[in-house]
A and B are shown apart, each in its own frame.
Chain A
Amino acid sequence: MVNPLYMFILFLAFGFLFAILDKMGRKVTLTLFYGVLLANFIIPLYWIWGIFSGTTSGTEISTAGFMAPISINLRFGFEEIIIVLLVNFLGLLSAIYLSDKFKKSSINGMILFMVLLMSIDGLVMTRDIFNIFVFLEILSIATYSLIAIEKNRDSLSAGFKYMLAGGIASAFILIGIIFLYRFTGTLNLDDMIGKSHLLVGKAGFLSLYLFLFAILLELKPFPANGWALDVYQAVNEGLVAIIAVASSAAIFFVLYKFLPLVPSEYYGYLGGVGLVTFFFSNLIGLKQKNPNRLLGYSSIAQMGLLLATLSILKSFGSNDLIIFQIVGGLFINHFLAKAALFWLVGIVKKNDISAWTNLRTNPSLLIFLGVFILALSGLPPFPGFWAKWDFVMILASKGSYFSIIGILLASLFEITYLFRWLGFAMKKTDSTEKIDLPISKEFPIAISAIALLVFSVVTTYFFKEFSFIQILPLVGLVLMYLFGYLPVKVKGFVAIVIISTYAIKLYSLVSGLELFFAAILVVGSLVQIIATMYRSGKREGFYPFLVMMIIAIGNLVIAKTYLSFFFQWELMTIASYFLIMKGKEVTSAGLKYIIFSMGAAYFIMTGFAFAPVIPAINLSLINTIGMKHIGILSLSLLSIGFLIKIGSLGFHVWVPDTYNKADDDTTSYLSSIVSKAGIFGFFLLAVAIVKNASLDTELLLTIIGWIGVMTAIIASIMAAFQENVKKLIAYSSIGQLGYIILALSAFNHIGWLAALNLTLNHMLFKLMIFLAIAGVIMRTKTTNMYEMGGLIKKMPWSYISVLMGIIGLSGVPPLAGFGTKWMLYNALIERGWYLQAGAALFASGIAFLYLFRLIYTVFLGQAKPEHKDIKAAPLWLLIPQYIAIAVVMLISMKPILLLKPLSEMISVYIPTNLGWVGDKLITVNGYWNGSQVMNVTMIIFGIPFLWMLFITRKVQKVKQFNIVFAAERPDRPETTHFAHNMYAHYNKAMGFLVTPKLAIKFWDRVSEWISSSGATLRNFYSGNGQTYLLQIILYFIILYSIMGGK
Chain B
Amino acid sequence: MILTTVLGFILIILGIWGMLTQKNLFKMVIGFSILDSGIHLVIVSLGYIKDKTAPIIDSDILANNASSQVVDPIPSALVLTAIVIGLAVTALMLTYIIQLVNTHNFDSKNMKDPLSITSYEELKW
Per the 8 Å Cβ criterion, residues 36-89 of B in contact with A are 36, 39, 42-43, 46, 74-75, 78, 81-82, 85, 88-89
Top 5 closest A-B pairs, CB basis? A1023-B124, A1023-B121, A157-B120, A153-B103, A230-B123
Give A1022's nearest chain B residue, CB to CB.
Answer: B124
The answer to whether B81 and A134 touch across the interface, beta carbons within 8 angstroms, is yes
Per the 8 Å Cβ criterion, residues 86-125 of B in contact with A are 88-89, 92-93, 95-97, 99-100, 102-104, 117-118, 120-125
Give A290's nearest chain B residue, CB to CB.
Answer: B125
A148 at the interface (CB under 8 A from B): yes
Report A68 CB to chain B, min CB distance, Å: 14
B16 at the interface (CB under 8 A from A): yes
Stretch at the interface among A603-611, A1004-1012, A1026-1034: A1026-1034
Known: A156-B103, A1023-B123. A164 touches B28 (CB 8 A): yes
Contact for B42 among A152, A161, A178, A1030, CB less than 8 A: A178
Most buried by B among A156, A178, A230, A1025: A178
The answer to whether B81 and A171 touch across the interface, beta carbons within 8 angstroms, is no
Chain A facing B: main interface SS: helix
The answer to whether A144 and B16 touch across the interface, beta carbons within 8 angstroms, is no
Interface residues of B (CB under 8 A from A): 12, 16, 19-20, 23, 25, 28, 32, 35-36, 39, 42-43, 46, 74-75, 78, 81-82, 85, 88-89, 92-93, 95-97, 99-100, 102-104, 117-118, 120-125
A350 at the interface (CB under 8 A from B): no
Contact for A1023 among B95, B103, B122, CB less than 8 A: B122
In the complex, besides A151-B102, A157-B100, A1033-B16, 10 extra interface pairs with C-beta distance below 8 angstroms are A144-B96, A151-B103, A157-B123, A158-B123, A160-B97, A166-B89, A167-B35, A168-B19, A1023-B120, A1033-B20
Known: A156-B96, A1033-B16. A141 touches B89 (CB 8 A): yes
The answer to whether A167 and B100 touch across the interface, beta carbons within 8 angstroms, is no
Complexed CA–CA distance, A170 and B81 (Å): 13
Report A591 CB to chain B, min CB distance, Å: 22
Most buried by A among B89, B92, B118, B124: B124
Complexed CA–CA distance, A174 and B80 (Å): 12
A175 at the interface (CB under 8 A from B): yes
The answer to whether B100 and A160 touch across the interface, beta carbons within 8 angstroms, is yes
The answer to whether B78 and A178 touch across the interface, beta carbons within 8 angstroms, is yes
Complexed CA–CA distance, A910 and B114 (Å): 81
A1024 at the interface (CB under 8 A from B): yes
Complexed CA–CA distance, A1025 and B96 (Å): 14
A159 at the interface (CB under 8 A from B): yes
Give A1017's nearest chain B residue, CB to CB.
Answer: B125
Report A542 CB to chain B, min CB distance, Å: 39
The answer to whether B96 and A159 touch across the interface, beta carbons within 8 angstroms, is yes
The answer to whether A178 and B89 touch across the interface, beta carbons within 8 angstroms, is no
Complexed CA–CA distance, A182 and B82 (Å): 17
Query: CB-CB < 8 A to A137: which residues of B?
Result: 85, 88-89
As a 0/1 sequence over residues 165 to 193 of chain A, the CB contacts with chain B under 8 angstroms (1 = contact) are 01110110011011101100001000000
Known: A148-B95, A167-B89, A178-B46. A1024 touches B123 (CB 8 A): no
Complexed CA–CA distance, A1029 and B43 (Å): 24
The answer to whether A1025 and B85 touch across the interface, beta carbons within 8 angstroms, is no
Complexed CA–CA distance, A98 and B125 (Å): 28
Query: CB-CB < 8 A to A157: which residues of B?
Result: 100, 120, 122-123
The answer to whether B43 and A1024 touch across the interface, beta carbons within 8 angstroms, is no
As a 0/1 sequence over residues 1011 to 1023 of chain A, the CB contacts with chain B under 8 angstroms (1 = contact) are 0000000110111
The answer to whether A178 and B43 touch across the interface, beta carbons within 8 angstroms, is yes
Give B9's nearest chain A residue, CB to CB.
Answer: A175
Query: CB-CB < 8 A to B97: which residues of A?
Result: 160
Complexed CA–CA distance, A140 and B88 (Å): 11
Known: A141-B89, A174-B43. A154 touches B122 (CB 8 A): yes
The answer to whether B120 and A160 touch across the interface, beta carbons within 8 angstroms, is yes
The answer to whether A182 and B46 touch across the interface, beta carbons within 8 angstroms, is yes
Report A515 CB to chain B, min CB distance, Å: 56
Report B90 CB to chain A, min CB distance, Å: 9
The answer to whether A1025 and B20 touch across the interface, beta carbons within 8 angstroms, is no
Report A1024 CB to chain B, min CB distance, Å: 5
Complexed CA–CA distance, A230 and B124 (Å): 7
Report A791 CB to chain B, min CB distance, Å: 54
Query: CB-CB < 8 A to B92: which residues of A?
Result: 141, 144-145, 148, 163
Give A1030's nearest chain B residue, CB to CB.
Answer: B20
Complexed CA–CA distance, A163 and B122 (Å): 17
Complexed CA–CA distance, A391 and B93 (Å): 43
Complexed CA–CA distance, A182 and B78 (Å): 13
The answer to whether A160 and B103 touch across the interface, beta carbons within 8 angstroms, is no
Contact for B82 among A141, A152, A174, CB less than 8 A: A174
Query: CB-CB < 8 A to A133: which residues of B?
Result: 82
Complexed CA–CA distance, A1029 and B118 (Å): 13
